[in-house]
Amino acid sequence: MTAPPPTSHSMSPDDRLAAEVARMLLPQRFPHRRDLELSGLAGTSAEACSFYDVFWPPGGLLALCAASVPRAGASGALRAAALQKLVRAGLGLSLSADETLALVGRAYAAEFEEEPFDLALLTLDPASGRFAGAGQGRHIAAIGARVSPGDGVLPIGSVLWLAAGAQALGEPAGEGPDLGLDDLAARLLDTMAPGVALVGVTLRATGRKASYDFSMANELAAIAGLVSGVEATLAREGVPEPVAAGLGLALDELLTNTVSYGYLDGGWHEILVELDVAPGCVDVSVRDDGRAFDPLLAPEPDLAVELEERQVGGLGIHFVRTLADEISYERERGWNVLRLRKRFDPEAGLESSGG
């Protein structure tokens, strides 16, 4: 969600360039997660360029950032773009919020001669609600209307706000997310000075005790870490090792196909894996926003034909079909969604875990 662009029809080329760069700094969409909701706004100002950002650095943590550069025009927009790149680079190196802020401050000062900037950033673990933040200049982090320390725990149902370009939140911050996070963010921004960047997050109960969400970029190198995390989670939930290993292999196959063939634009995309574990049953959903493709329409391979005479491809999805007790595909609002269910003997899980 972004603030409305200027309505003037006589913007200079410099102003049009600045507006386009500022637009490109904002997320095209927020991550799709069952366990959280996000909203953000970047106010317009003749004296500053502001932005907010939401992304997933390594380690499964969610990163949020709000920033404002007190300089207008293309010069301000380019400084804001540099600031965003530095924040993403620091957290991408698995640095803490404090370490990232120190790195950003040094690099920005070296390039822009000690010019000031306002920045609030934090990392959040959606599973536990634990967050760690840092900030510089005019910034604020608050849970509801209460100013938050740098580290803490976000309770389910509360809203954690980050703002840059301001040192206080307006009265609507104390209202609950029942209003709708987008509406609440808009009301908040109306009470604040021009040029403020604002981003908020609230955690939601999934309604099931053993529900987990995993996220990765569309990179082959990211697959092993996600699959390892899924297998470790299944082991903690008492799923028998052969079942967990089989699901890991199936995920590896599905994710490899998605990354290798699902995207035509060469850009960054997010792939989501949703995991629900109940006694005797595991449900897995794989979501991606690549080109529409139903792998279940692929013909079954002819296993009677000699290996060298078989057509290339098809064995991977055949393995997934064989493993799953139920499998289905849907195209939902621009996302491919493949769901599979695997049943198992819960007593076998207890035996394999030594229980």
Question: Could you read off the pLDDT of 51-83 as tens digits, one per residue?
Answer: 999 988 877 788 999 999 998 888 999 999 999
Summarize pLDDT for 234-243 with one digit per residue, the tens. Answer: 988 889 999 9
pLDDT band for position 307 (cuts 50, 70, 90): very low
Walk across the sheet containing 197-203 and list its strands: 36-42, 197-203, 159-164, 139-143, 146-147
**Can you give the pLDDT at residue 327?**
94
User: Is residue 113 classed as helix, strand or coil in its secondary structure?
Assistant: coil
Token pair of 328 as six digits: 């289905």
Please state, in angstroms and rounded to a whole number, the distance separating the CA atoms of residues 123 and 131.
5
Summarize pLDDT for 198-250 with one digit per residue, the tens. Answer: 999 998 876 555 788 899 999 999 999 999 999 998 988 889 999 999 999 99
Token pair of 55 as six digits: 């992304």
Please state, in angstroms and rounded to a whole number, the distance separating the CA atoms of residues 55 and 30.
8
Please state, in angstroms and rounded to a whole number, the distance separating the CA atoms of residues 191 and 193.
7
Whole-number average pLDDT of the chain: 85
Please state, in angstroms and rounded to a whole number, the distance separating the CA atoms of residues 333 and 327.
20
Write 188-191 long-range contacts (CB < 8 A, 24+): 188/41, 188/161, 189/3, 189/41, 189/43
Helix intervals (H) in 67-149: 73-92, 97-112
Cα of 286 vs its chain's centroid, Å: 15
What domains lie within the chain, and their CATH numbers?
13-203 (3.60.40.10), 211-352 (3.30.565.10)
